[in-house]
């Protein structure tokens, strides 16, 4: 009898394992989706979300000391320039959208730099180039980051810049342990870092990249930050720093001059928007690619996703086809509006989206999309968002473009210059054709969402040309598929490569869909049968997301941070 009882219990346990254990394995958290990595962070008085914990902690400390959201964002960005030098720093550009609680208004800042006065399209063509190289002196445009900090601070700051930049100065001078993703990128780019002696001396101490957990110090960068903190933005654009950059580039085949720095300025711009199922999504207008998000949303709004499951073949197919349509316009039209006519109002209109949507075949991938008639790749970036106790919110993105930018570190300054000039087109007559003192097409895009004229969400997804796709995926995940702010970033992502590019590269057939792990084989097989090329993506190709959502009823901030990065969300 006892043996029979043991056998019966064993059988029941077996049935339990067969029927229930798979579900338990797929869902080992007490709440949230099966792919969710953590809960969102919630706080009443302030929130900061960045890709590096030291930067997040810096922002929270600034808020606790009485700083504004902008003060905290600048401090965090400066720390990221120390701790994630491959991704960003004073040698790069910056864009931001600020929600000001006093005026109940959004303000956009374009702090991107311009090309050298002394370099022309003819000169580049004489060099036998079809495209500007990925790194080196020809890629360098004026760094806009520092001017962006001071413009933001002048309008929305409270604490002195000496106090705001002190955190970055201390980490640069005293050192910090290198985090996992930073160490991975460092190692990937060791050959690039070894090309120029200055760069190698700063970023390859003892002749090799920093490994995970090793202490990195950058006294040169600490001195540069200290000079800017004490002397202001003119120390960078009208002082010794500008002259040092000019002298270094002159020795190494570059074209930027002191006058390029002296004449630089950021621009406050009106963010542009569209609606998506009751939410209003805001972006910075070109020279950036933010309006691609608005174009994609307008096209996708015409399809009923309430009847589709997240990750279904239909969902992925429609998303990719909308991307293809928007990106052909991106390749043709997006550019510096001071040099080219960019029909923003038409491109982000519902009427234009209605026309473009009819080109989508719901059952088959298309290779024939071209830019519409308007009558006329992976990048290295940081995104951060901060909110304060007064209701102000900042959406800020800053970048070198590709890892360690141009690879060139001027004498004694401790940072690399960006390679954003790589994104110019060398075809004469194109909207994005190279010209002196012109802003190149830009990939980095901060985003903001309002609902019923109230702030709803400040968010962004770093990752070069992937950024519009990542932003649309997050929005669809929340609005169409009911995910919360953390789940929306944790969900497996979809990338598509093969559209035409603003640099002049032409589209490549249907392109290729890259899927992060988590999509079913049945979905992949169906997409292939619909004519898509499908591959699994590589680590690092799906961007990095940070988000703050605001609940106006309970006055609560919800923070989310991407597990693909080293960072975190924190509140107080």
Q: Are 35 and 517 in contact (CB under 8 A)?
A: no
Sheet with 544-551: list strands edge to edge: 41-43, 556-561, 544-551, 454-462, 447-451, 279-283, 272-276
**Cα atoms found within 13 Å of the Cα of residue 234, Cβ hemisphere only:** 1
Three-state SS annotation for 252-303: CCCCCCHHHHHCCCCEEECCEEEEECCEEEEECCCCECCHHHHHHHHHHCCC
Q: What is the DSSP string of 27-71?
A: --SSSS-TT--SPPEEESS-EEEESSHHHHHHHHHHHHTT--HHH
Q: Are 405 and 418 in contact (CB under 8 A)?
A: yes
d(CA 265, CA 100): 22
* Extended strands (E) in 52-164: 93-100, 105-111
How big is the CA angle at 343 (ends 340 and 347), to the nearest 5 degrees? 140
Give alpha helix (H) positions in 348-413.
350-357
For residue 551, the surrounding DSSP H or E stretch is strand 544-551
Does 37 qualify as catalytic in the annotation? no
For residue 549, the surrounding DSSP H or E stretch is strand 544-551
Sheet with 494-497: list strands edge to edge: 494-497, 512-515, 533-536
- Residue 41: φ, ψ to 5°: -90, 135
- Tell me the β-bridge partners of 569: 49
Residue 32 gets the label, from left (phi > 0), alpha (psi -120 to 50) or beta, of left
Q: Are 543 and 462 in contact (CB under 8 A)?
A: yes
Residues 6 or more apart from 293 whose CB is under 8 A from it? 281, 283, 445, 447, 468, 471, 472
Of 457, 505, 508, nearest to 484 by C-alpha is 457
What is each CA distance from 469 to 80, 252, 330, 490, 495, in whole angstroms? 24, 37, 13, 15, 7
Counting every residue, how long is the chain?
572
Residues 6 or more apart from 468 whose CB is under 8 A from it? 289, 290, 292, 293, 296, 323, 326, 327, 330, 445
d(CA 557, CA 116): 43
> Which residue out of 68, 199, 381, 450 is catalytically annotated?
381
Q: Are 304 and 312 in contact (CB under 8 A)?
A: no
For residue 306, the tally of other CB atoms under 10 A from its CB is: 9
For residue 511, the tally of other CB atoms under 10 A from its CB is: 19
Query: Mind telling me the catalytic residues?
Result: 381
């Amino acid at each position: 009898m006892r043996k029979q009882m043991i056998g019966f219990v064993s059988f029941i346990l077996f049935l339990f394992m067969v029927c229930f254990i798979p579900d338990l394995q797929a869902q080992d958290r007490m709440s949230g989706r099966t792919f969710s990595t953590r809960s969102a962070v919630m706080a009443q008085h302030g929130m900061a979300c960045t890709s590096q914990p030291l930067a997040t902690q810096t922002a929270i400390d600034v808020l606790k000391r009485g700083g504004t959201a902008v003060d905290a964002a600048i401090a965090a960005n400066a720390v990221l320039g120390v701790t994630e030098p491959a991704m960003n720093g004073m040698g790069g550009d910056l864009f931001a959208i600020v929600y000001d609680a006093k005026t109940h208004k959004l303000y956009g800042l374009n702090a991107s730099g311009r090309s050298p006065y002394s370099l022309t399209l003819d000169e580049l063509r004489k060099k036998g180039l079809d495209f500007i190289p990925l790194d080196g002196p020809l890629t360098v445009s004026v760094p806009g980051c520092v001017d962006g900090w001071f413009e933001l601070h002048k309008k929305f700051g409270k604490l002195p810049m000496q106090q705001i930049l002190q955190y970055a100065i201390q980490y640069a001078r005293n050192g910090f342990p290198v985090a996992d993703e930073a160490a991975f990128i460092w190692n990937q780019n060791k050959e690039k870092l070894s090309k120029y002696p200055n760069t190698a001396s700063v970023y390859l101490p003892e002749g090799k990249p920093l490994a995970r957990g090793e202490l990195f110090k950058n006294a040169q960068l600490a001195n540069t930050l200290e000079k800017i903190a004490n002397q202001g933005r003119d120390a960078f654009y009208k002082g010794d720093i500008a002259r040092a950059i000019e002298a270094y580039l002159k020795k190494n085949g570059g074209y930027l001059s002191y006058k390029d720095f002296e004449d630089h300025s950021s621009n406050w711009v009106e963010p542009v928007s569209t609606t998506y199922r009751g939410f209003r999504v805001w972006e910075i207008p070109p020279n950036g690619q933010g309006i691609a998000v608005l174009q994609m949303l307008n096209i996708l709004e015409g399809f009923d996703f309430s009847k589709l499951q997240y990750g279904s073949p239909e969902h992925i197919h429609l998303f990719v086809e909308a991307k293809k349509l928007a990106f052909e316009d991106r390749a043709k039209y997006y550019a510096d509006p001071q040099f080219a006519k960019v029909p923003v109002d038409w491109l982000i209109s519902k009427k234009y989206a209605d026309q473009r949507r009819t080109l989508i075949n719901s059952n088959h991938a298309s290779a024939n999309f071209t830019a519409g008639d308007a009558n006329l790749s992976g990048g290295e970036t940081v995104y951060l968002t901060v909110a304060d106790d007064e209701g102000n919110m900042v959406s800020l993105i800053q970048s070198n473009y590709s890892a360690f930018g141009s690879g060139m570190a001027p004498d004694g300054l401790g940072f690399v210059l960006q390679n954003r000039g790589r994104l110019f087109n060398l075809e004469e007559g194109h909207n994005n054709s190279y010209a002196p003192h012109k802003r190149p097409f830009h990939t980095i895009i901060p985003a903001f969402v309002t609902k019923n004229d109230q702030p709803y969400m400040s968010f962004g997804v770093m990752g070069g040309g992937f950024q519009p796709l990542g932003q649309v995926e997050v929005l669809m995940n929340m609005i169409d598929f009911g995910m919360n702010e953390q789940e929306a970033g944790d969900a497996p992502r979809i990338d598509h490569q093969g559209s035409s590019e603003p640099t002049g590269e032409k589209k490549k057939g249907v392109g290729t869909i890259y899927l992060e792990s988590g999509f079913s084989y049945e979905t992949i097989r169906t997409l292939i049968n619909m004519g898509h090329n499908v591959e699994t993506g590589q680590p690092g190709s799906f961007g990095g997301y940070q988000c703050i959502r605001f609940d106006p009823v309970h006055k609560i901030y919800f923070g989310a941070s991407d597990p693909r990065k080293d960072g975190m969300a924190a509140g107080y």
